[in-house]
Amino acid sequence: MKIVSKHPLLVGTALLTLATGALYGCKDFLSNAAAPQGTLDAGTLANRSGVEGTLIGAYRTLDCTSATGAWGCAASDWVFGSVAADDSYKGSNATDQPPVNDIEGYHWGTPDADSYLEQKWQISYEGVVRANSALRLLKQVVTSSPGEFSVADANGVAGEALFLRAHYHFEAWKMFGNIPYYREDETDFRKANETSALVVADILKDLDSAIKLLPTTPRNGQKGRASQWTAKAYKGRVQVYSGDYAGALVTLKDVKNNGPYALETSYDHVWTGFAALANGPETIWAFQASANDGEPNGNNANFGERLNFPYSGSHFGCCGFNQPSQNLVNFYQVDVNGLPLALSSAATWNASDANFVGGPANVTPVDPRLDWTAGRDGVPYKDWGLYSSAGGWVRDLGNGGPYSPKKNAEEQASGAESKVGWQNTQLNSVNIHLFRYADLLLLLAEAEVETNDLAGATAIVNSIRARAGVTAQGCGKGSDAATQAALVAAYPACATDSRMAVPINDPSIKWAVYKVGQYPTFTDQAYAREAVRTERRLELAMEGQRFFDLRRWGLAYAAAAINGYINGEGGGMEKSSARRLYKAGAETFIARHMFYPIPSLEVSLSTIGGTKRLAQNPGW
């Protein structure tokens, strides 16, 4: 059955939500000519299964679908959160996916950039439409058939839908700032923007309503569903993002002290394809990627990430996008105390332009999170063999540099790889973290710094660093006999050691010197602020967070970081022949870059009587 998706603000029917969310195996759906069933409308869906299916459809829009296009709709926000910051380059080669070139270069007013921004707008508001459809349908069923839902289940459905509506509006808000807010009883999509502050108030209102309705554990025992604690954690996140540190302190401390979350025991358990580790104690909110579930094209897997794997010389075979930057790799260096070199040697930490190759000759101490985050030469790549940029693992060294993303890649031993679909080796069931507990703790530490609880902030940062120091990349094994032979040739001890994760001082490690130190109690607010911000980058790198962090810390901070990244900071610059010379064409980051421009199609569609209801963001 072919599903045709219309513009998300023009159509709000449950047809789209149930069809795209659940009915992938329906090749005979239209085969009964005596009883044609060409549509699903509110009447057809006015029962419990219709409501539940519509709600599942609202969850599905957390990531790209085949109907919304790619790759500006990826759940991880890799284009807008990592490539647009200092974490990664577009990668691949210069001519593939040219819209990302303009996002990376801050040329956001071009038609190419606009096409990707439109995808992000559509996926966000498609989610809003689907959540509102579930709310409307629930009200209809509860009114017409009171016995269909218990009070608790009706409240649970409503709470989940309200939470989803808040999440999708948050996604649009963090991108565009001044956006329209849509509720289930509205019929005209051509709404004017609300101010950024009013949008935040509406998001928090929906989250407060969800908190009152949701159970403390996920409904039906299904961990992917939002619970009361999910909504509380998310509320604290929104409070920090909007600058309400006092309010966030109360909310996030409640979650920390009373909620169900905890740090994973080691960093390799966070981004993983192992089913036993999925939805572990650190998961607050994730896109539940699903491979090998019967969907014939693997489209329920990590659709939005499928470009972000090493190239054809590796097992994955394609496509070489979202490559970690030289700046990011350099950022993982540490000083003699195991603390970030970026803090103790601000003038020189970024001086090296060289490929940061692992091996016995390289004794520069680094944070072990480097080799869970970036694939680099001379270091095993999970359990797929020895990474080799010159061996074809990188598509275009001159364009994207020598490194590859690593967090989103499945482990060979996990069995999480899809068996079907386009480039199935790049489709897996690695859940995409949208919000995890380490992120929450660092937001709490940030609130503590801003309210002058420096001891509390130090304790949180040190707890995250302690976890980072538990394990490092081990030998793993090759993906086949040839890659295993190459691994053993480089590191003979790996012939009898296939551990993927080992203690950071394990004697098997010959490719790096790992060190993670603890901070003395912060005594100065300015230093504490910078230490917490540094820890966010080290912990959350390549997770689509970086640009939005820089932006919410203010124009001066964002401009200094992004313009410094391009033009020179810490002794190195990106716009050089030794790194990525094309960065010389990037626009200077100024006030207008604090929010992405609203897609031109959306502004046009908002027209009533010749007047555009949606106002474009300043400077665009």
Look at 109-118, 294-303, 376-385, 575-584 and tell me which has the smallest mean pLDDT. Answer: 294-303
566 falls within a domain: no
- What pLDDT digit, counting tens, does each position of 398-426 carry? 999 999 999 999 999 999 999 999 999 99
Q: Is residue 343 part of a domain?
A: yes
pLDDT, residue 234, reads 98
Q: Once rounded to an integer, what is the mean pLDDT over residues 565-574?
A: 98
Distance, in Å, from the CA atom of 552 to the CA atom of 528, rounded to the nearest integer, reads: 17
545-549 long-range contacts (CB < 8 A, ≥24 apart) are: 545/77, 545/81, 545/439, 546/81, 546/82, 546/85, 546/86, 546/87, 547/80, 547/81, 547/82, 547/84, 547/85, 548/77, 548/81, 548/174, 548/241
The H-assigned helical ranges of 469-582 are 481-490, 525-540, 546-552, 555-567
Q: Is the pLDDT of residue 42 over 60?
A: yes
Of all residues in the chain, what percent are helix, strand and coil, respectively (each to 5)? 45, 5, 50
Residue 11 above 70 pLDDT? no
Residue 70 has pLDDT above 90, yes or no: no
Calculate mean pLDDT across residues 37-66.
85
Does 254 fall in a domain?
Answer: no
Stretch (H or E) spanning 144: helix 111-144
Mean pLDDT of 80-108: 98
Does any domain span residue 255? Answer: no
In a domain, 2, yes or no: no
Percent above pLDDT 90 for the chain: 91
* 227 within domain boundaries: no
Band (473; pLDDT cuts 50, 70, 90): very high
Structural domain count of the chain: 1
CATH number of the domain within which 426 lies: 1.25.40.390
pLDDT greater at residue 21 or residue 330: 330
Encode pLDDT of 514-558 as tens digits: 999 999 999 999 999 999 999 999 999 999 999 999 999 999 999
Chain segment 440-459, per-residue pLDDT in tens: 999 999 999 999 999 999 99
Give the domain extent around 463: 303-553
Considering the entire predicted model, what is its pTM? 0.93
Whether the CA torsion 89, 94, 96, 99 is positive or negative: it is: positive
Flag whether pLDDT at 225 surpasses 50: yes
Asked if the structure places residue 525 within a domain, the reply is yes
**Does the residue 114 lie in any domain?**
no
